[in-house]
A = this chain, B = another copy of it.
């Protein structure tokens, strides 16, 4: 963390001029004891930008939010967890639009100024009868500095909320940047399965913001993988309302670079938090690929290693198994040369020139026994590099994901299926 950043509380509620609220509707659990509907609202107009799943099966809220962003800027976001509103057809689109409309009217904004996000089970209709009675509460509870409620309302299989907020100087003004993220399973690059909301009171024009967001997403959320599955609902939304009073950030200026650095830092913190909280994850592994001929080759190698079930199983077992790592390097489709590959684990050589290095096995085992370690794969063929953040795959992950039948049973009780 840059020493000029000051940590703040309140996540997406930390920046000036943003109000947030969250309620429990009973989408996540029928007793409605868990928060599952959230609202973010800026008291003044915003510029905004988004990044979305590249899955061709896109949930209704993704389609609706993309359409709203094409029309203009967002000023509010409504989000629910427990139901993804994905594969729900025309009804799903209607439901997503209705969620926007329901909060737009009391907030006094256009329906198209509201973004909508959903996360949860795929293929079941949204339980709108549970959501509709809660809109009034959601509006009534809007308040400053309580962004943690939003972080709480969007999580599903996450074990804890994930949020960050900082303030920093931008020219003569202090600005705030806050964010929260959810995601633990169905996590794969381009993008990870997640919702992420980021707010800032910096003043940054739409186009400049959009460029910064896409660049920072590429270097953060597109660099993580837990299970290699890519969701139908991934969304990152960034709202900048300028409430700090600063003049607009100029594209490519010094302040633009500073803002981008802060945004990248925040996104990377949130992305790493997703991996650390991955479903039944016990290891956080940074995989650095160096010396590739091309950026694309470096990326292919990193993704193959980070997604290999056998490599991930060995990490789960604390086994510094470089043979499985190099076998994934080999099938990555990058043009690697086996006899040039070096693999270092926690700074110690495991494989040099495609062969076993002299490091005693016990030293490597001690590194991989830790909850976090770094693997450097040097292809020794060029200057391109790539980094990814990955996890192990545990027996408990499979066990956890064996069945979503309970959701169907609840949907039947609700008369939805």
Contacts and interface: CB of A to CB of B under 8 A. Distances in A.
A304 to B, nearest CB: 9
A321 interface: yes
Nearest to A395: B395
Q: Which of A86, A186, A313 has the most CB of B within 10 A?
A: A313
Contact of A54 (B317, B331, B398, B399): B331
A185 B405 CA distance: 29
Contacts of A412: 361
Interface in A177-217: 185-186, 188
A413 interface: no
Contacts of A324: 122, 229
Given A58-B338, A319-B403, A356-B123, A398 B330 contact: no
A109 B80 CA distance: 72
Majority secondary structure of chain A interface residues (helix, strand, loop or mixed): loop
Contacts of A306: none
Contacts of A227: 309-310
A54 B88 CA distance: 40
A44 B4 CA distance: 80
A339 B324 CA distance: 40
B229 A310 contact: yes
A124 to B, nearest CB: 8
Nearest to A365: B405
Nearest to A338: B57
Contact of A231 (B122, B314, B327, B398): B327
A69 interface: no
A336 interface: yes
A319 B356 contact: no
Contacts of A122: 323-324, 326-327
A365 B408 CA distance: 12
Contacts of A86: 323, 327
B397 A232 contact: no
A51 interface: no
Given A55-B327, A58-B338, A317-B403, 7 more contacts: A56-B335, A56-B336, A122-B323, A123-B323, A228-B307, A230-B327, A398-B398
